[in-house]
A and B are shown apart, each in its own frame.
Chain A
Amino acid sequence: MSDGLIIEVENLTKRYAGHVAVDGITFTVQRGEIVGFLGPNGAGKSTTMRILACFLPATHGTARVGGYDVFTEADEVRRRIGYMPENNPLHLDMRVREYLKFRARLKGLGIRRSRERVEVVMQQCGLTEVRRSIIGHLSKGYRQRVGLADALVHEPELIILDEPTIGLDPHQIRSVRQLIKDLGRHRTILISTHILFEVEMTCNRVLIMHEGKILAADTTQNLQNIMSDGLVIAEIAAPVAELRACWEQMSEIDHFDIAPSEGDYLRCALTPRAGLDLRPLVFEQVRTRGWALRELGRAHHSLEDIFVHITRPDTEEETR
């Protein structure tokens, strides 16, 4: 076990009757990282998290959290993690403060300590004004905060959040995301989602799972670059022929595509030769030729694109 590693998963397999949910995955997580688990529904994210949270046993392989085995030293592991399952189940008949105190006591905090911690996490998660409310009467955003507060209450080293923003409205998503980001300053967080944007916003590193396997593990920036091949989108108002000639002249551009956009503008998709950033070059061209430019940026790929890309057998090499 190395000092910096908090999660060490080796060759982890989980087989349910008839199908393999997690298929021999191996990965590690460093202390202090915010890692995003990305994948479509049924990719094996929740199963992996449940194994890490000592709720389910693995069929094969080992998983260690903070150096403790999740199967044989489950109690030690449970003390060190704060886990919020999918759909955030809560006792809806309890009051916020009462629930958090109940959870703190369950997790082994003393009476005084639990009272202190509950106050702290309520403050952290913005729950102070609803402390006396019955959880069942709260909005989904608040409930999610209660779930987060519960995961935090015993000061765990590792926080595991399974789809923490699912079913929230955009405003609530933003506040929960911000909260996660704030928490990540002092803790290791493993978060699962199927929204790529969310990973980009909050995580340092991403693990992409598909059909029980980890297909890619990299920083979000690298992954984006690999995915987009540096594709640049520019919307420029200029005669088509001129544009075409200009792009053809530029040796940095591998190939391009021009399509009409609203108004006089044309939408150009420019693919560079390997590893180049076209944006400054394009801007330079626009400036010297006196064209009008209203958009210039890297193409953002949706999760769908990434999956299509990653699950193509010929591209597996380059992503991993």
Chain B
Amino acid sequence: MQAYLTLVRRELGGFFVSITGYVIIASVLLLLGISFTGILGVLNDSPTDVPLTELFYQSYYFWIILLVTPPIITMRSFAYEKGTGTYETLMTTPVSDLQVVLAKFSGTLVFYLLTWLPLFGCIAVVRYLTGEARVLDPWTTASTFLGFTLMGCLYMSMGCFASALTRSQIIAAMNSLVIGLGLFLLSLRTLVPVPPTDWASRIFSYISLSDHVEDFARGFVDTRHLVFYGSLTIFFLFLTLKAVESRRWN
């Protein structure tokens, strides 16, 4: 446990001692700001009953942030250490492979969540200015945050896996972008009008990220989604662990 916490701290610290962390936070803040002002503009013209959190999901910026930041956050995790050689000093300390994988995953996840915090600032601003309690409904906000966290878990585990495969950060980022984008593109299938009886469209609706996200933003927490994200995250963490262990395979 001690080694795990030490590693998580180091992982998080790594973002803040280098410029990378600040660049990521600043970029996310910029994109969130743009989408926020955009949403406010639309709301001024045509008021709607849709929760504010859901409006965020419907903007392109949200998806850009979701698809682009995880590869950049996770590319460092293993590839950087392998590239500089510190991987060898790390793996020769009495720390288990599982601890290393979990620490890398948790470190990147915490950083990812930190980058999303400004969103709640945006919502709080609207709540403050409108005086409308419904804007910052605790349940919707919590479920939105849960949605972020679950998607973060999935994308971080994918990113860690991609990073564990290579010693080049760029290749790690590209790989994880491709996996992440691939999963996202599958969800576009549900946007194509098809007969509802089609078995393929049913399957695609199960894995459609946009459908999941909509539910979370409306305040629905569906166990199907929990299972979906949970199992995929565990699957990718398992693959990461195997990638880390592979150096000890004969």
Q: Which residues of A contact B (CB under 8 A)?
A: 50, 53-57, 59, 71, 75, 78-79, 81, 83-85, 87, 89-94, 102-103, 105-108, 150
Contact = CB atoms under 8 A, between A and B. Distances in A.
Given A83-B89, A89-B88, A90-B86, A55 B247 contact: yes
Interface stretch (B31-39, B93-101, B203-211): B93-101
A35 to B, nearest CB: 19
A78 B7 CA distance: 17
A94 B17 contact: yes
Given A93-B17, A102-B6, A108-B2, A85 B93 contact: no
A222 to B, nearest CB: 33
A106 B6 contact: yes
Contacts of A150: 89
A105 B18 contact: no
B130 interface: no
Nearest to A108: B94
B64 interface: no
B85 interface: yes
B96 A75 contact: yes
A78 B96 CA distance: 11
Nearest to B14: A93
Given A56-B248, A71-B248, 20 more contacts: A53-B92, A55-B92, A55-B247, A57-B250, A78-B92, A78-B94, A81-B92, A85-B85, A85-B88, A85-B92, A89-B86, A89-B89, A90-B89, A91-B14, A94-B13, A103-B89, A105-B6, A106-B3, A107-B93, A108-B94
A79 B37 CA distance: 55
B197 interface: no
Main secondary structure of the interface of B (DSSP, over half): helix
Nearest to B80: A91
Nearest to A15: B250
Contacts of B87: 89
B88 A55 contact: yes
8 contacts: A50-B88, A71-B248, A84-B89, A85-B89, A89-B89, A91-B14, A102-B6, A103-B89
A249 to B, nearest CB: 61
A106 B18 contact: no
Interface in B69-110: 84-96
Nearest to B7: A106
What are the 5 closest A-B residue pairs judged by CB atoms, nearest first?
A89-B85, A78-B94, A105-B6, A53-B92, A89-B86
A83 B84 CA distance: 16
A99 B57 CA distance: 41
A175 B84 CA distance: 25
B202 interface: no
B94 A75 contact: yes
B96 to A, nearest CB: 7
B88 A93 contact: no
Contact of B95 (A56, A94, A106): A106
B80 to A, nearest CB: 10
B134 interface: no
A102 B95 CA distance: 13
Contacts of B95: 106
A121 to B, nearest CB: 15
Most buried by A among B84, B87, B92: B92
B94 A107 contact: yes
A21 B43 CA distance: 68
